[in-house]
Amino acid sequence: MGTIMKIGIVGMGHVGAHVANSLVLQGIGDELYMTEQCSGDEDHSAKLAAEVQDLGDSLAFCPHNVALVNCDDDYARLAECDVIVNAAGKVSLASKDRDGELFYTTETAKTFIKPIADAGFDGVWITISNPCDVVATEIWKLSGMDPNRIIGTGTALDSSRLKYALSRATGYDQHSICAYMLGEHGSSMFAAWSAVNFGGKPLAQLRQEQPERFGFDEAQVEQEARHGGYVTYAGKQCTEFAVADAAVRLVRAVVSNEHYITPCSTLMTGDYGESGFFTSLPCVIGANGVEEVLHFDLSDAELHEFQASCAHVKENLRRIGLL
């Protein structure tokens, strides 16, 4: 009998529910353990029961059966999972910027990080909640886990938005474009233009050879990537599909031990002179989480942007007493 893959989710709101649905539709995992966040006077138990029922009703249309487990707010039950996705948050607080959830998500996370750690969890955390880099740092500090086993979705989503913008600008398929947003998953993120390539050919070279196709306004394209989420939010008061899929892509890389390269939030250990907190750089993702961090020869301007982005993350950590 093969190994049973167990995946947990904390928070079954817009994003958590889409994470669950994407996992089931893609056939990732054998058992799905779902919990709801408990904060203030809010009772999410009915919402969780509804999501579990809806997912169960969809199983006949999915690749294979998945055992669906309603854990209510018994976080310790998630300790037996191989991967836990943290999607606990309150999106309305982030209507203007991702820092809007700072105090809410970090206080909420305190209710489940320690119970899960104390119950012996030794799998991989994948955290979505905003501010993503701050919450990832909090999980590391409160759980005492190996930081390589903690992954923030970070700029994986923003890099997808950058590829989408570049695809619209050039007409090339986004799967053939290598382009990364780096730094904080927030307003201070930046595009690493010096590393952008199309099918392996550097953007700078293509711009010289085909100026009519590649002479687009970099600042405008970068702005589209940075603010794509707010376009989505303005129309439906949440973002859900893309960020859930970004998290599920990381789950798949872990459970399949893929050695997949993507930008995501990881612990800085002297990278470009920064240490002691999480932010996004290109990482190799496998069964044990972050296996390796890749470094580019950033231009002086990009290095300045990275350091400014890190400064913002550190300021938020100081605001909640974690730095």
Catalytic residues: 185
Question: Among the residues of the chain, which ranges form H helices?
Answer: 14-26, 45-58, 102-110, 113-118, 132-143, 156-170, 203-209, 211-214, 218-236, 241-255, 300-319
* Token pair listed for 238: 């949440």
Q: What share of the chain is helix, strand, coil (3-state, %, to 5)?
A: 50, 20, 30
Residue 199 among known ligand-binding residues: no
Residue 255 in marked binding region: no
Q: Does the annotation flag 16 for ligand binding?
A: yes
Distance CA 176, CA 186 (A): 25
d(CA 148, CA 306): 21
User: Which residues does 169 contact at the CB level (< 8 Å), separation at least 6?
Assistant: 216, 221
Q: 295 labelled as ligand-binding?
A: no
Contact predicate 309/279, CB 8 Å? yes
What number of other Cβ atoms are within 10 A of residue 31's Cβ? Answer: 16
123 a known binding residue? no
CA 183 centroid distance within chain:
13
Is 189 marked as a binding-site residue?
A: no
CA distances for 84 relative to 77, 87, 126, angstroms: 11, 10, 6
129 is in an annotated binding site: yes
Q: Is 14 one of the annotated binding-site residues?
A: yes
Cβ pair 190, 210 in contact under 8 A: no
Q: Minimal CA–CA distance to 227: which of 236, 216, 215, 239? A: 239
Nearest partner of 229 among 212, 244, 207, judged by Cα: 244
**Residue 15 marked as a ligand binder:** yes
Specify binding-site residues.
Answer: 11-16, 128-130
Specify binding-site residues for NAD(+).
Answer: 11-16, 128-130
